[in-house]
Amino acid sequence: MVDKQSPLPIYYQIEEDLKQRIKNKEFKTFDMIPSERELSETFEVSRMTVRQAITNLVNEGVLYREKGRGTFVAEEKIEQPLQGLTSFTEDMKTRGMEASSKLLTFEKVSAPYDISRKLETKEEASVYKIQRIRYADKKPMAIETNFLSVDMFPDLNEQAVHGSLYSYIEKMKKQAIGKAHQVIEATTADENQAALLDIPVGSAILSIERHSCLADGTPFEVVKSSYRADRYKFISDIYRM
Ligand code: 16G
């Protein structure tokens, strides 16, 4: 219910009320929420106010609208901490979800200039280009394109990257992974990305580039990934210096 005497704006109170009901599972994922008219009657406020609350929740990714059908509860976003250097497989396991991959490309190419520079290999050295769609509980989450030096992992094969690449490096190759540098940018899905991730063209994407090094400082991978922004949020704790 809303408190009209409260200093909190009414649309904000409605947002909090709906979020609470989603948390309590009164409205479950993919459930249709009541119409603007019904909500305005329940809360005894104008439809405009209800619309503002719903629009804010749609922008936040809590709800989504389907033209001509109604407004629905979106899947909860995955919260990805920015502290630890983890693999996709580990990230999903931590959340009780099952990671899987679809291998789109596994080929040896001569390293594009920016890749050879970042991998500190000779210009045009042979590198693996591995493109995978990464799934959580069979739903597409991200497209990843990895570049790894062939010299470093001469026997890497398709079988290994069907599972976890990090596990292959650590368990099979007995190499310790040390650190990574990561850049996250906002982009939108082009036709190809939209089809692979099963989202509309133009949807928000979190574009990530990661350069990772072994514990001895040798760079071993450059990864360009496109994560669905409706399913992911990156979180970090920061301290005032
Ligand atoms: C993550 C990493 C990626 C790494 C992959 C290994 C980001 C943005 N990317 O998805 O760099 O190659 O994990 O996952 O976090 P895997 O061991 O499951 O193959």
Question: Above 80 in pLDDT, residue 1?
Answer: no
pLDDT in tens, 138-185: 999 999 999 999 999 999 999 999 999 999 999 999 999 999 999 999
Answer whether residue 239 shows pLDDT above 80: yes
Question: What average pLDDT does this structure show over 21-42?
Answer: 94
- Which residues in 32-176 belong to E strands, given as ranges? 63-66, 70-73, 78-81, 99-110, 126-136, 139-149
* Average pLDDT estimate for 59-68: 91
Residues contacting residue 140 through CB under 8 Å, at least 6 positions apart? 133, 134, 196, 197, 198, 228
Tell me, in angstroms, the distance from the centre of ligand 1 to residue 165's CA. 7
Q: For residues 88 and 212, give the distance between their C-alpha atoms in angstroms, rounded to a whole number.
A: 14
**What is the Å distance from ligand 1's center to 142 Cα?**
10
Q: Which pLDDT value is given to residue 52?
A: 96
32 DSSP β-pair partners: 72
Please give the average per-residue pLDDT across 1-21, as a whole number. Answer: 92
Instruction: Give tens-digit pLDDT for 84-143.
Output: 999 999 999 998 999 999 999 999 999 999 999 999 998 889 999 999 999 999 999 999
Identify the residue whose C-alpha is closest to ligand 1 atom 5.
87
232 alpha carbon to ligand 1 midpoint, in Å? 14
Is the C-beta atom of 225 inside 6 A of ligand 1? Answer: yes
Q: What is the pLDDT of residue 124?
A: 85
pTM reported for the whole predicted model: 0.85
